[in-house]
Amino acid sequence: MNFHILTLFPEMVQNGLNTSIIGRAVNAGLLSVETVNIRDYAFNKHQSVDDYPYGGGAGMLMQAEPVYLAYEAVAKRIGSRTAEKKKTRVVYLSPQGDVFTQKMAEELAAEEDLILLCGHYEGIDERVLEEIVTDYVSIGDYVLTGGELPAMVIADAVSRLVPGVLHNDVSAEFESFQDNLLEYPQYSRPEEWRGKKVPPVLLSGHHANIEKWRRQQSILRTKERRPDLLERSRLTEEERRWLEEEGGLV
Protein backbone atom coordinates (compact mmCIF):
# COMPACT_ATOMS: atom_id res chain seq x y z
CA MET A 1 0.00 0.00 0.00
CA ASN A 2 1.34 3.39 -1.01
CA PHE A 3 -0.28 6.45 0.54
CA HIS A 4 0.17 9.80 -1.20
CA ILE A 5 -1.05 12.58 1.04
CA LEU A 6 -1.64 16.06 -0.39
CA THR A 7 -1.45 18.55 2.46
CA LEU A 8 -0.31 21.98 3.64
CA PHE A 9 1.17 20.31 6.75
CA PRO A 10 3.39 17.43 5.56
CA GLU A 11 5.37 17.36 8.82
CA MET A 12 2.25 16.77 10.89
CA VAL A 13 1.31 13.79 8.74
CA GLN A 14 4.85 12.34 8.60
CA ASN A 15 5.26 12.65 12.36
CA GLY A 16 1.91 10.96 12.94
CA LEU A 17 2.46 8.06 10.58
CA ASN A 18 6.17 7.32 11.01
CA THR A 19 5.61 6.37 14.62
CA SER A 20 4.55 3.12 16.26
CA ILE A 21 3.19 0.16 14.30
CA ILE A 22 2.67 2.10 11.08
CA GLY A 23 6.23 3.44 11.22
CA ARG A 24 7.57 -0.08 11.67
CA ALA A 25 5.56 -1.27 8.66
CA VAL A 26 6.97 1.63 6.60
CA ASN A 27 10.51 0.67 7.65
CA ALA A 28 9.77 -2.96 6.76
CA GLY A 29 8.70 -1.88 3.27
CA LEU A 30 5.09 -3.04 3.69
CA LEU A 31 3.75 0.50 3.30
CA SER A 32 4.93 3.84 2.04
CA VAL A 33 3.76 7.27 3.12
CA GLU A 34 4.57 10.09 0.72
CA THR A 35 3.49 13.61 1.60
CA VAL A 36 3.20 16.30 -1.06
CA ASN A 37 3.24 19.89 0.15
CA ILE A 38 0.51 21.72 -1.76
CA ARG A 39 2.31 25.00 -1.02
CA ASP A 40 5.18 23.84 -3.26
CA TYR A 41 2.71 24.27 -6.14
CA ALA A 42 1.65 27.81 -5.27
CA PHE A 43 1.98 29.97 -8.35
CA ASN A 44 2.19 33.51 -6.99
CA LYS A 45 5.20 35.23 -5.50
CA HIS A 46 3.80 35.08 -1.96
CA GLN A 47 3.41 31.30 -2.12
CA SER A 48 -0.19 31.65 -0.99
CA VAL A 49 -2.70 28.90 -1.75
CA ASP A 50 -5.91 30.42 -0.35
CA ASP A 51 -8.31 33.13 -1.47
CA TYR A 52 -11.70 34.66 -0.66
CA PRO A 53 -14.85 32.89 -1.81
CA TYR A 54 -16.79 34.47 -4.71
CA GLY A 55 -20.15 35.68 -3.48
CA GLY A 56 -18.73 36.53 -0.07
CA GLY A 57 -19.03 34.71 3.21
CA ALA A 58 -16.76 33.83 6.09
CA GLY A 59 -13.31 32.32 5.73
CA MET A 60 -10.95 31.39 2.95
CA LEU A 61 -10.84 28.63 0.35
CA MET A 62 -7.93 26.65 -1.02
CA GLN A 63 -7.43 27.53 -4.67
CA ALA A 64 -7.92 24.97 -7.42
CA GLU A 65 -4.60 25.26 -9.26
CA PRO A 66 -2.06 24.38 -6.52
CA VAL A 67 -4.21 21.39 -5.52
CA TYR A 68 -4.43 20.25 -9.14
CA LEU A 69 -0.69 20.61 -9.75
CA ALA A 70 0.11 18.66 -6.56
CA TYR A 71 -2.31 15.91 -7.65
CA GLU A 72 -0.93 15.85 -11.19
CA ALA A 73 2.65 15.47 -9.96
CA VAL A 74 1.65 12.36 -7.97
CA ALA A 75 -0.64 10.92 -10.66
CA LYS A 76 2.07 11.21 -13.33
CA ARG A 77 4.71 9.63 -11.10
CA ILE A 78 2.62 6.59 -10.16
CA GLY A 79 1.09 6.21 -13.62
CA SER A 80 -2.50 6.65 -12.51
CA ARG A 81 -4.96 6.23 -15.38
CA THR A 82 -2.51 4.52 -17.78
CA ALA A 83 -3.54 1.66 -20.06
CA GLU A 84 -2.37 -0.95 -17.52
CA LYS A 85 -3.86 0.74 -14.44
CA LYS A 86 -7.29 1.96 -13.44
CA LYS A 87 -7.50 5.48 -12.06
CA THR A 88 -6.04 5.77 -8.58
CA ARG A 89 -8.70 6.62 -6.01
CA VAL A 90 -8.53 10.15 -4.65
CA VAL A 91 -10.11 10.46 -1.21
CA TYR A 92 -11.11 13.95 -0.07
CA LEU A 93 -11.50 14.24 3.71
CA SER A 94 -14.51 16.41 4.36
CA PRO A 95 -17.30 16.74 6.92
CA GLN A 96 -19.63 16.33 3.91
CA GLY A 97 -18.33 12.85 2.96
CA ASP A 98 -19.69 9.36 3.58
CA VAL A 99 -18.94 8.37 7.16
CA PHE A 100 -15.89 6.08 7.29
CA THR A 101 -16.48 2.47 8.34
CA GLN A 102 -14.45 -0.71 8.76
CA LYS A 103 -16.03 -1.94 5.53
CA MET A 104 -14.63 1.08 3.66
CA ALA A 105 -11.21 0.42 5.24
CA GLU A 106 -11.33 -3.13 3.89
CA GLU A 107 -12.25 -1.88 0.43
CA LEU A 108 -9.48 0.74 0.38
CA ALA A 109 -6.91 -1.80 1.64
CA ALA A 110 -7.29 -3.66 -1.67
CA GLU A 111 -5.86 -0.68 -3.61
CA GLU A 112 -2.19 -0.42 -4.52
CA ASP A 113 -2.06 3.39 -4.24
CA LEU A 114 -4.32 5.84 -2.43
CA ILE A 115 -4.26 9.60 -2.78
CA LEU A 116 -5.60 11.41 0.30
CA LEU A 117 -6.45 15.09 -0.15
CA CYS A 118 -6.44 17.27 2.97
CA GLY A 119 -8.33 20.55 2.87
CA HIS A 120 -7.96 23.53 5.18
CA TYR A 121 -9.87 26.72 5.91
CA GLU A 122 -13.42 26.32 4.56
CA GLY A 123 -12.41 23.64 2.07
CA ILE A 124 -11.28 23.65 -1.56
CA ASP A 125 -12.57 25.28 -4.78
CA GLU A 126 -15.31 22.96 -6.05
CA ARG A 127 -13.96 22.80 -9.61
CA VAL A 128 -10.78 20.89 -8.78
CA LEU A 129 -12.76 18.52 -6.55
CA GLU A 130 -15.06 17.69 -9.49
CA GLU A 131 -11.98 17.05 -11.59
CA ILE A 132 -9.94 14.74 -9.34
CA VAL A 133 -11.90 13.38 -6.32
CA THR A 134 -13.34 9.86 -6.52
CA ASP A 135 -14.44 9.44 -2.86
CA TYR A 136 -15.75 11.97 -0.33
CA VAL A 137 -15.08 10.61 3.15
CA SER A 138 -15.77 11.95 6.65
CA ILE A 139 -14.45 10.37 9.85
CA GLY A 140 -17.49 11.55 11.81
CA ASP A 141 -19.96 14.36 12.31
CA TYR A 142 -17.67 17.10 13.59
CA VAL A 143 -15.55 19.81 12.02
CA LEU A 144 -11.76 19.98 12.39
CA THR A 145 -9.28 22.66 11.31
CA GLY A 146 -7.93 20.45 8.53
CA GLY A 147 -8.18 17.07 6.81
CA GLU A 148 -4.81 15.86 8.15
CA LEU A 149 -6.11 14.06 11.24
CA PRO A 150 -8.87 12.34 9.21
CA ALA A 151 -6.26 11.30 6.59
CA MET A 152 -4.11 9.82 9.36
CA VAL A 153 -7.11 7.99 10.79
CA ILE A 154 -7.87 6.46 7.40
CA ALA A 155 -4.23 5.58 6.70
CA ASP A 156 -4.02 3.87 10.10
CA ALA A 157 -7.26 1.88 9.70
CA VAL A 158 -6.26 0.77 6.19
CA SER A 159 -2.63 0.00 7.08
CA ARG A 160 -3.46 -2.47 9.80
CA LEU A 161 -5.40 -4.52 7.23
CA VAL A 162 -2.34 -4.80 4.96
CA PRO A 163 -0.89 -8.33 5.35
CA GLY A 164 2.13 -8.37 7.67
CA VAL A 165 1.50 -5.00 9.34
CA LEU A 166 -0.02 -6.62 12.43
CA HIS A 167 2.23 -9.52 13.37
CA ASN A 168 -0.08 -11.19 15.86
CA ASP A 169 -1.32 -14.71 15.17
CA VAL A 170 -4.95 -13.74 14.48
CA SER A 171 -5.66 -11.66 11.39
CA ALA A 172 -7.16 -8.20 11.77
CA GLU A 173 -10.38 -9.23 10.07
CA PHE A 174 -11.22 -11.72 12.76
CA GLU A 175 -12.06 -9.17 15.41
CA SER A 176 -14.32 -6.30 16.32
CA PHE A 177 -17.08 -5.49 13.85
CA GLN A 178 -16.94 -9.00 12.52
CA ASP A 179 -20.63 -9.89 12.54
CA ASN A 180 -21.38 -6.43 13.98
CA LEU A 181 -20.44 -7.44 17.52
CA LEU A 182 -18.06 -5.64 19.87
CA GLU A 183 -15.03 -7.44 21.27
CA TYR A 184 -15.30 -9.37 24.53
CA PRO A 185 -13.38 -8.10 27.60
CA GLN A 186 -9.78 -9.27 27.94
CA TYR A 187 -7.47 -9.82 30.91
CA SER A 188 -3.74 -10.32 31.44
CA ARG A 189 -1.57 -10.89 34.53
CA PRO A 190 -1.93 -10.71 37.48
CA GLU A 191 -4.80 -13.11 38.22
CA GLU A 192 -6.00 -10.70 40.90
CA TRP A 193 -5.49 -6.95 40.68
CA ARG A 194 -6.58 -4.70 43.56
CA GLY A 195 -9.10 -7.29 44.65
CA LYS A 196 -10.51 -7.80 41.13
CA LYS A 197 -10.21 -11.36 39.82
CA VAL A 198 -9.93 -12.57 36.24
CA PRO A 199 -13.16 -14.44 35.31
CA PRO A 200 -12.42 -18.06 36.36
CA VAL A 201 -13.53 -19.58 33.03
CA LEU A 202 -10.51 -17.94 31.36
CA LEU A 203 -8.15 -19.85 33.67
CA SER A 204 -9.99 -23.18 33.25
CA GLY A 205 -8.22 -24.30 30.08
CA HIS A 206 -11.62 -25.44 28.74
CA HIS A 207 -11.51 -23.92 25.26
CA ALA A 208 -15.14 -24.59 24.31
CA ASN A 209 -16.36 -22.89 27.48
CA ILE A 210 -14.00 -19.97 26.91
CA GLU A 211 -15.27 -19.48 23.36
CA LYS A 212 -18.88 -19.61 24.53
CA TRP A 213 -18.24 -17.13 27.37
CA ARG A 214 -16.47 -14.72 25.02
CA ARG A 215 -19.29 -14.87 22.48
CA GLN A 216 -21.84 -14.17 25.22
CA GLN A 217 -19.79 -11.27 26.54
CA SER A 218 -19.60 -9.83 23.02
CA ILE A 219 -23.36 -10.05 22.68
CA LEU A 220 -24.08 -8.52 26.11
CA ARG A 221 -21.56 -5.74 25.58
CA THR A 222 -22.97 -4.89 22.17
CA LYS A 223 -26.53 -4.83 23.56
CA GLU A 224 -25.40 -2.47 26.31
CA ARG A 225 -23.07 -0.14 24.39
CA ARG A 226 -24.11 -0.36 20.73
CA PRO A 227 -27.70 -1.62 20.43
CA ASP A 228 -27.72 -0.21 16.87
CA LEU A 229 -25.05 -2.75 15.88
CA LEU A 230 -26.77 -5.67 17.61
CA GLU A 231 -29.74 -5.28 15.29
CA ARG A 232 -27.44 -6.01 12.35
CA SER A 233 -25.61 -8.97 13.96
CA ARG A 234 -26.51 -12.53 13.15
CA LEU A 235 -27.31 -14.38 16.37
CA THR A 236 -28.33 -18.02 16.42
CA GLU A 237 -31.79 -18.96 17.70
CA GLU A 238 -30.12 -20.34 20.82
CA GLU A 239 -28.27 -17.04 21.37
CA ARG A 240 -31.48 -15.05 20.92
CA ARG A 241 -33.28 -17.20 23.51
CA TRP A 242 -30.31 -16.86 25.88
CA LEU A 243 -30.27 -13.09 25.45
CA GLU A 244 -34.03 -12.91 26.17
CA GLU A 245 -33.44 -14.56 29.57
CA GLU A 246 -30.07 -12.98 30.39
CA GLY A 247 -31.01 -9.61 28.93
CA GLY A 248 -33.52 -8.99 31.70
CA LEU A 249 -30.81 -9.46 34.33
CA VAL A 250 -28.28 -6.93 33.05
**With CB under 6 A as the contact rule, which of the stretches 49-57, 73-81, 115-123, 195-203 interacts with ligand 4G0?**
115-123
Instruction: Find the shortest distance in angstroms from Cβ 78 to ligand 4G0.
Output: 24
**C-alpha count within 13 angstroms, C-beta hemisphere, residue 232:** 9
Distance, in Å, from the CA atom of 1 to the CA atom of 31, rounded to the nearest integer, reads 5
Say whether residue 13 binds ligand 4G0 (CB under 6 A).
Answer: no
DSSP for 11-34? Answer: HHHHHHHSSHHHHHHHHTTS-EEE
Say whether residue 138 binds ligand 4G0 (CB under 6 A).
Answer: yes
CB-closest chain residue to ligand 4G0: 123
Which residues in the 81-110 window bind ligand 4G0 by CB under 6 A? 93-95
Q: Tell me which of 79, 131, 140, 224 binds ligand 4G0, using CB under 6 A.
A: 140
Mark residue 178 as left, alpha or beta (left: phi above 0; alpha: psi -120 to 50; beta: remaining): beta
Say whether residue 157 binds ligand 4G0 (CB under 6 A).
Answer: no
Phi then psi for residue 191, to 5 deg, are -60, -30
- Local structure of 92: helix, strand or coil: strand
Instruction: Find the shortest distance in angstroms from Cβ 124 to ligand 4G0.
Output: 7
Which stretches of the chain bind ligand 4G0, using CB under 6 A?
A: 93-95, 119, 122-123, 138-140, 142-144, 146-147, 150
